[in-house]
Amino acid sequence: MLYNFDSLSFQILTIDRFFHSKGLVEVQARPYAALSYRVNGTGDFTIDGRKFFISPGDILFIPANMPYKVDYSVSESIVANLNDCNYPDAESFSLRNPAELELCFQRLMKEWKETHSANRAKSAIYDILERLDNDSRQSSETTVFDICLQYIDAHYCDSSLDITSVCRECFVSPSSLHRAFVRYFGIPPKQYITKLRMNKALNLLAENRHTVKEIAYLCGFEDEKYFSRLFSGKYGYPPSKLLGNISL
């Protein structure tokens, strides 16, 4: 990806705001690359046989020496044209917070047009790429976290479920799993699993259809005494005292 291409090099040729009329445009190969932010309107691009539908808030990179077709609506974009850019692939990016990126592109244009500092403008482009990288990492982490949640929710009543098995099944490290749970829920994953089991135990106790030993097993606890100790520590009463006496 453009944002984590370690050997990336380029020189800024121009940075400007462009307005596009509605219609189909064929653009011949140009000796410079383009990094653009779509302010409003849309562009339906065909680049090197690939389709890119660019909406407001999206970023598009077009390499040098690559012709393309685009069907514009009435639209506006901020474009940085780059000389000697060595990244070869066309790519588009949709971010979770596009307004933040628009400010970055506005800063980029200001550095180029008002301060006339090529170094500061290049710094602004690297800042944009870093934000793309961070957004990608956070999106990936969120996806993995969602997979872990789904797995835990489906298996928390299995007494063999533990942090090791979650990490193994979801291909995530224990430290990453712990960090994600603390960030989203404020508690570690082991405590989250116990919370799910306790909530289920409360529901089963209210039904008054099972013994405490059976409820412990149905909620993923192998040891009835351990379950009773946890329950008493959390609620102040042993589970046997609450059978049939809970109003949910």
State the average pLDDT over residues 1-29: 92
Please report the pLDDT score of residue 25 as a whole number: 93
The pLDDT tens digits of the residues spanning 193-235 come to 999 999 999 889 888 889 999 999 999 998 899 999 999 998 8
The pLDDT tens digits of the residues spanning 96-143 come to 777 778 888 998 998 898 888 888 899 999 999 988 888 777 666 677
Domains of the chain: 2-137 (2.60.120.280), 156-248 (1.10.10.60)
Sequential DSSP letters for 73-106: -SEEEEEEEEET------EEEE-S-HHHHHHHHH
Is the per-residue pLDDT at 247 higher than 70? no
The pLDDT tens digits of the residues spanning 58-67 come to 999 999 999 9
The pLDDT tens digits of the residues spanning 32-57 come to 999 999 999 999 999 999 999 999 99
Is the four-CA dihedral 12, 13, 15, 20 of positive or negative sign? negative
pTM of the model: 0.61
The pLDDT tens digits of the residues spanning 76-101 come to 999 999 999 999 999 998 877 777 78
Please report the pLDDT score of residue 162 as a whole number: 93
Cα distance between residue 180 and residue 176, in whole Å = 6
Helix (H/G/I), strand (E/B), else coil: 8: coil
